[in-house]
Amino acid sequence: MKNNTLQENKLEANVRCKDVSKIYRQGDIEVHALRRISIEIQDGSFVSLSGPSGSGKTTLLNLIGGLDRPTSGEIYLSNLRIDTLSSSELAQVRLDNIGFIFQAYNLIPVLSARENVEFVMQLQGVNAAERKERAYEILNAVGLNGLENRRPGELSGGQQQRVAVARAIVSNPEIVLADEPTANLDSKTAKNLLEIMLSMCKERKVTFIFSTHDKLVMEYAERLIKLHDGEIVSDE
Amino acid sequence: MLKNLSIIFILSSRNVLRNPRRSILTLLAISFGLAGTIVVSSLARGLSYNLAKDTIDHLTGHIQIHAENYLEDPDVSNSISEIPPKLEKVMKSPQILKKAERVRVPGIVMSERESYGVMIVGINPKEELGLSFIAESVNEGKFFDHDSDDGIIIGRKLLELLQTDIGKRVVVMSQDVKNEISDKGVRIIGVFDSQFESTEKSFVFLSIKKAQGLLGLDAKISEISLVTKDYENLEPTLSNLQSSAPNLDVRGWRDIEKFVSALLDIQGKFLIFWFCIVVIAISFGIVNTLFMAIYERIREFGMLQALGMKPIEIQFQVLIESLLLILIGGFIGNILSVIGIHLLESGIDISAFAEGAKRFGIKNVIYPRFVSHDWITANLLVLFLGSLSSFYPAWRASRFTPANAISRAT
Ligand SMILES: Nc1ncnc2c1ncn2[C@@H]1O[C@H](COP(=O)(O)OP(=O)(O)OP(=O)(O)O)[C@@H](O)[C@H]1O
Ligand SMILES: [Mg+2]
């Protein structure tokens, strides 16, 4: 029953932004973080957003993930317009469709690695036995077997990021949004993480959207979108 | 949302343990605050109880019955000439534990040197035993054995004022039923002590038969004093008595001792006030703790929302955190209060502060008296106000925009 409703809530993961602008106001100063951006991202693609610091990468990811609202413009996940939803509705959309990986401090500190991975499934209403099985499986897949019961504080930065990837993936989202997931990692660890994400992308038909400064990440990407000053300067 | 309660509960409880020092401080505030209210209120109730009991013991009893106009004009003419048979029957019912009939009229006592206005009380010694203070307060000389004994018993203070002594004679004087002055010389056979100086000064006791003889009352009496099973709950008994004696004036002790009654009422109100003050202070402590706990976790709340937790679930998480603190703190507080009351069971000696307290009838030792509805009130107030004050921090926690919350440096 539960799974049925979940299935129904799933969206075709093409992301569409139409004339999206975001202006931050700090007192009298207005920062135009995004200027009338329009893009469309296809199902199952591995996309990188790059550009200099302050070009609006994080802002764009946050808007696509419904963590913030645009100042103007429209954002669609498949056919659902999300920029007008309430925060509670947005939470539900994220729960059903979107996984997040941030640069750092991704994990819930009071939960172990396995509990972190199980957390989203628990919110989704997956039963305990299945949760546990899927959690062990995915932690194994990201190379963390044996570390399941450690809390985030007892894991290295790279290990924490792998838990975050596992957690973002395990709930079968349509889209994973990753904001500089490799920024705090050395290149070997970063490469390893990217391999994992790429295989997840292919195996599970998940759309991955990255923001990154990292040349390495860009090498892996199928599509490279470059931002500058809140505008798209190239898209290949 | 309810289906997620278990994971929310896990988050809440682990977050309580996350900063043990802060949680312990909060628990201490809650538990000592609660224990403080309960212990102090039990001492206050002990004080009230003493006051009520002393008032009742004095000569009042729980219920008094007089002739219609006696309380306005305690004259011999306002006596009860006959007890209605119906009333007689009700007074024999099991609700009534003790009964004393008395003659009680104003009069004068004279020694060869001084004279004083007093209340002359004629008593049946057997009936007074266990009902009023007098039977147990004659510390010099002797108490009456029978309702027709000769002699007079006066207070120590009056003995001093009259400059006389036990064994000597004094004259009692009053108006009799024919409005004639009637007087009689009697020997002082006993001296009583009271915690009220005014009582020692203004009451003298004769045996009831001798008092009736002096006043020409025959078998008439001025008052009936009754003791019931429960002095705090007189209503049913009172109305029973009233309907069985429509021509007599039946009153409860609070109605007679209006001043003491008002004092007790004020004290009751003060206690509620005191409860509220302490509980509000506790609530501020809780709010403060929650805000500290929330502001250092803003990023985490943003992340939880990013993962798909709804704002209301975040509110629940904070509320459960505070509820856990309140329940654990409340539990410890109740244990502390039991220990506190137990330790004080032997009483607190306030004689150091009690110089002159005798004049107000306050005893030198206060005993705590556990009153269950105070206990319930204190607990409910902590639970209710504590939870209520957690709503605002909880709401705040759910209101951070996830994007802003996450971009914060931890
Ligand atoms: N909450 C905010 N309030 C005000 N200005 C903001 C806020 N968040 C971002 N900005 C501004 O918006 C612009 C875009 O920021 P954004 O974080 O999207 O850049 P970015 O491309 O992710 O940069 P970086 O590579 O440094 O992470 C910047 O000029 C930034 O200062
Ligand atoms: Mg950024």
Q: Each residue of B260-270: pLDDT tens digit?
A: 889 888 988 88
Question: B293 and B336, same structural domain?
Answer: yes
Of B7, B14, B406, the CB nearest to A119: B7
Question: B196 and B304, same structural domain?
Answer: no
This prediction's pTM:
0.79
Q: Which chain A residues have any C-beta within 8 angstroms of a chain B C-beta?
A: 58-59, 62, 65, 67-68, 87-88, 91-92, 94-96, 98, 100, 102, 105-106, 108-111, 115, 119-120, 122-125, 167
Gap from CA of B294 to ligand 2 centroid (Å):
24
Position B308 in a domain: yes
- Report chain A's mean pLDDT, rounded to a whole number: 86
Smallest CA–CA separation between A232 and chain B, in Å? 21
User: Looking at B210, B230, B250, which one is the last position of a domain?
Assistant: B230
**pLDDT computed for residue A73 by the predictor:** 93
Question: B213 and B189, same structural domain?
Answer: yes
Question: B122 and B210, same structural domain?
Answer: yes
C-alpha–C-alpha distance, residues B121 and B182, integer Å:
15
Which listed ligand is nearest to A67 at the C-alpha?
1
Q: How confident is the model at residue A234 (pLDDT cuts 50, 70, 90)?
A: confident
**pLDDT computed for residue B364 by the predictor:** 67
Residue B24 has pLDDT above 90, yes or no: yes
What residues have CB less than 8 Å from B351, skipping those under 6 apart? B364, B365
Instruction: Name which residue sits closest to atom 24 of ligand 1, judged by CA.
Output: A53
Position B250 in a domain: no
Average pLDDT over residues A189-206: 84
Total of domains in chain B: 2
Candidates A88, A106, A114: best to mutate against B (most CBs of B within 10 A) is: A88
B78 in reach of chain A (CB within 8 A): no
Tell me which of A186-190, A207-211, B255-259 is least confident.
A186-190
Position B243 in a domain: no
Smallest CA–CA separation between B10 and chain A, in Å? 9
- Report chain B's mean pLDDT, rounded to a whole number: 88
Percent of chain B with pLDDT over 90: 38
**pLDDT computed for residue B318 by the predictor:** 93
SS (H, E, C) chain A: CHHHHHHHHCCCCCEEEEEEEEEEEECCEEEEEEEEEEEEECCCCEEEEECCCCCCHHHHHHHHCCCCCCCEEEEEECCEECCCCCHHHHHHHHHHHEEEECCCCCCCCCCCHHHHHHHHHHHHCCCHHHHHHHHHHHHHHCCCCCCCCCCHHHCCHHHHHHHHHHHHHHCCCCEEEEECCCCCCCHHHHHHHHHHHHHHHHHHCCEEEEEECCHHHHHHCCEEEEEECCEEEEEC
Question: B358 and B270, same structural domain?
Answer: yes
**pLDDT computed for residue A8 by the predictor:** 45
Decide if A100 and B307 are in contact by the 8 Å CB cutoff.
yes
- Chain A residues whose beta carbon lies within 8 Å of the beta carbon of residue B400: none
Ligand 1-lining residues (CB < 6 angstroms):
A 24, 26, 31, 33, 51, 53-59, 211; B 404
**pLDDT computed for residue A7 by the predictor:** 43
B171 in reach of chain A (CB within 8 A): no
Half-sphere exposure at residue B151, Cβ-oriented, CA atoms within 13 angstroms = 18
Average pLDDT over residues A17-24: 92
Q: How confident is the model at residue B358 (pLDDT cuts 50, 70, 90)?
A: low
B396 in reach of chain A (CB within 8 A): no
Average pLDDT over residues B249-254: 89
Gap from CA of B163 to ligand 2 centroid (Å):
101
Average pLDDT over residues A164-180: 90
Question: B154 and B43, same structural domain?
Answer: no
Average pLDDT over residues B388-405: 89
**pLDDT computed for residue B151 by the predictor:** 92
B5 in reach of chain A (CB within 8 A): no
Question: B221 and B343, same structural domain?
Answer: no
Question: B74 and B45, same structural domain?
Answer: no
Residue A21 has pLDDT above 90, yes or no: yes
Position B247 in a domain: no
Percent of chain A with pLDDT over 90: 49
- Chain A residues whose beta carbon lies within 8 Å of the beta carbon of residue B305: 67, 87, 91, 94
Each residue of A43-92: pLDDT tens digit?
Answer: 888 899 999 988 999 999 999 999 999 999 999 988 889 999 999 999 99
CB pairs < 8 Å spanning A and B: 78
Average pLDDT over residues B341-365: 69
**pLDDT computed for residue A6 by the predictor:** 38
Higher pLDDT, B146 or A204: B146
The closest-lying atom of ligand 1 relative to the alpha carbon of residue A56 is: 18
Each residue of B187-203: pLDDT tens digit?
Answer: 999 999 988 788 899 99
Residue A1 has pLDDT above 80, yes or no: no
Q: How confident is the model at residue B86 (pLDDT cuts 50, 70, 90)?
A: confident
Question: B82 and B16, same structural domain?
Answer: no
Question: B99 and B28, same structural domain?
Answer: no
Average pLDDT over residues B94-105: 90
Position B242 in a domain: no
Position B402 in a domain: yes
Average pLDDT over residues B309-333: 93
Position B245 in a domain: no
Average pLDDT over residues B147-153: 91
Residue B410 has pLDDT above 50, yes or no: no
Higher pLDDT, B349 or A159: A159
Gap from CA of B409 to ligand 2 centroid (Å):
13
Each residue of B225-251: pLDDT tens digit?
Answer: 998 888 888 888 888 888 888 888 999
Residue A185 has pLDDT above 80, yes or no: no
Question: B319 and B178, same structural domain?
Answer: no
Range of the domain at B134: 63-230
Question: B281 and B191, same structural domain?
Answer: no
Beta strands B181-192 and A98-101 are unpaired
